[in-house]
């Protein structure tokens, strides 16, 4: 018999956060989160998303042992502002027991019905900057700090609960040796002259900060047409600056500005922290920071986290300016492999941008949906 318990105390929250450490203790590919950061994600005093969203966390027990977890999320900006009457769920992990997964999903469905919502979708986070999708292919490659990893049996649990595929994502990689500068060198100079734009490079995090709000504004404009998009407000901007910018090498942040110093494009790349996080096993102290700093300086893998181009400049070749900047930075850093985070498989525009690098799709993931 499965018993559900809603998380109410700090001790229970820690158990919620640490459950995957037990579930994946023998996995070579699972990348642990930083426990303190995960705790703050669900702290209403820390995470401003709770100004416009709710999350109820549940643990499943069997024989007095935790065997599953789930976060039931209602984003009121999405529901009321966009009329997307969606019940979200994420942080969904469980042993290979259909009774466990079914009980957890039914709890989420019940909350959605209480709110008169139309459907349930997951796994997703609170917003587009959170992790997304259950892994369906690519189980034999290491995960990352910005994606969820899961056991191969997860997909059959969604299907058994009568969930249907809602969105499909691909993750690609290509060796840096595939990058031939002739693909973008001439275009880079042409675009700069034609549109009077310039690229900005950084060597310190404090120099990035004055531009960060403009970057988030451009992010909102760039991704506004996506069906799942929820805009980032001013309070969340401050939170994400504090949470993310310090992790990123300043030289891996690129901005393109027009002649009036307005931002028209941005890109963020992150070094791979996967192996560092595995060594840390969820703990920043006493030596976790050392592993992070080593990866930040010495990782030969780079992950393209976000690229945004203002709608007025899309399909005009501005990405050539961005690629030109990264080519020189990566060459100097000795980057060997480039990775792309999950992208919608039906996004043909993004595929055209990367086609010259001959990327290989090495992972696929999906979100699943159930209508009421």
pLDDT in tens, 3-20: 999 999 999 999 999 999
Domain count, the chain: 2
Q: What is the CATH number of the domain that holds 138?
A: 3.40.630.30
Read off the pLDDT band of 348 (50, 70, 90): confident
Choose the final residue of a domain: 111, 141, 171.
171
Containing domain of residue 325, as a range?
175-362
Read off the pLDDT band of 100 (50, 70, 90): very high
* 144 and 187 part of one domain: no
* 117 and 131 part of one domain: yes
Read off the pLDDT band of 364 (50, 70, 90): very high
Q: What's the pLDDT score for residue 227?
A: 62
Inside any domain, residue 372: no
Inside any domain, residue 190: yes
* 158 and 262 part of one domain: no
Inside any domain, residue 369: no
* 83 and 209 part of one domain: no
Read off the pLDDT band of 228 (50, 70, 90): low
* 46 and 162 part of one domain: yes
For the stretch 24-56, pLDDT in tens is 999 999 999 999 999 999 999 999 999 999 999
Rg (CA), the chain: 21
Greater confidence, 82 or 85?
85
For the chain, give the mean pLDDT.
Answer: 94
Choose the final residue of a domain: 171, 189, 211.
171
Choose the final residue of a domain: 171, 198, 225.
171
Closest CA to 20 of 156, 151, 159: 151
What long-range pairs does 222-231 form, CB within 8 A, spacing at least 24? 222/308, 222/309, 222/310, 222/311, 223/128, 223/308, 226/128, 227/84, 228/84, 228/124, 228/128, 228/167, 229/128, 230/75, 230/77, 230/78, 230/82, 230/126, 230/127, 230/128, 231/77
* 89 and 180 part of one domain: no
Inside any domain, residue 370: no
* 223 and 304 part of one domain: yes
CA distances from 137 to 31, 32, 143 (A): 16, 19, 12
* 283 and 147 part of one domain: no
Are 208 and 250 a contacting pair, CB within 8 Å? yes
Q: What's the pLDDT score for residue 246?
A: 77
Q: What's the pLDDT score for residue 134?
A: 98
Please state the φ and ψ torsions of residue 191, each to the nearest 5 degrees: -65, -40
Does 268 score more than 70 pLDDT? Answer: yes
Sign, CA torsion 10/66/161/151 = positive
* 164 and 182 part of one domain: no
Q: Can you give the pTM of this predicted structure?
A: 0.93
Greater confidence, 216 or 82?
216
Inside any domain, residue 286: yes
């Amino acid at each position: 018999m499965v018993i559900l318990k809603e998380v109410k105390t700090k001790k229970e929250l820690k158990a919620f956060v640490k459950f995957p450490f037990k579930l994946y203790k023998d996995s070579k590919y699972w990348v642990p989160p930083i426990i303190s950061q995960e705790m703050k994600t669900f702290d209403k005093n820390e995470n401003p998303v709770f100004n416009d969203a709710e999350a109820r966390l549940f643990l499943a027990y069997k024989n007095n042992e935790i065997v599953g977890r789930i976060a039931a999320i209602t984003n009121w900006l999405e529901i009321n502002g966009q009329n997307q009457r969606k019940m979200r769920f994420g942080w969904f992990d469980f042993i290979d027991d259909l009774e466990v997964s079914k009980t957890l999903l039914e709890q989420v469905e019940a909350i959605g019905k209480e709110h008169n919502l139309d459907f349930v979708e997951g796994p997703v986070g609170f917003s587009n900057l959170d992790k997304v999708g259950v892994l369906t292919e690519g189980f034999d490659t290491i995960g990352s700090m910005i994606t969820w990893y899961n056991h191969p049996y997860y997909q059959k649990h969604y299907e058994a609960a009568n969930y249907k595929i809602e969105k499909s994502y691909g993750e690609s990689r290509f060796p840096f040796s595939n990058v031939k500068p002739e693909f973008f060198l001439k275009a880079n100079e042409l675009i700069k002259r034609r549109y009077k734009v310039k690229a900005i490079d950084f060597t310190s995090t404090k120099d990035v900060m004055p531009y960060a709000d403009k970057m988030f504004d451009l992010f909102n404009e760039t991704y506004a047409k996506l069906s799942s998009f929820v805009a980032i407000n001013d309070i969340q901007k401050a939170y994400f600056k504090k949470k993310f910018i310090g992790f990123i090498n300043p030289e891996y942040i690129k901005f393109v500005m027009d002649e009036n110093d307005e931002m028209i494009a941005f890109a963020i790349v992150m070094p791979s922290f996967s192996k560092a996080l595995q060594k840390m096993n969820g703990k920043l102290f006493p030596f976790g920071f050392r592993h992070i700093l080593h990866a930040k300086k010495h990782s030969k893998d780079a992950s393209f986290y976000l690229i945004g181009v203002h709608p007025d400049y899309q399909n005009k070749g501005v990405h050539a300016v961005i690629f030109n900047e990264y080519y020189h930075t990566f060459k100097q850093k000795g980057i060997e492999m480039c990775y792309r985070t999950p992208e919608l498989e039906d996004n043909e525009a993004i595929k055209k941008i990367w086609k010259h690098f001959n990327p290989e799709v090495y992972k696929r993931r999906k979100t699943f949906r159930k209508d009421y």
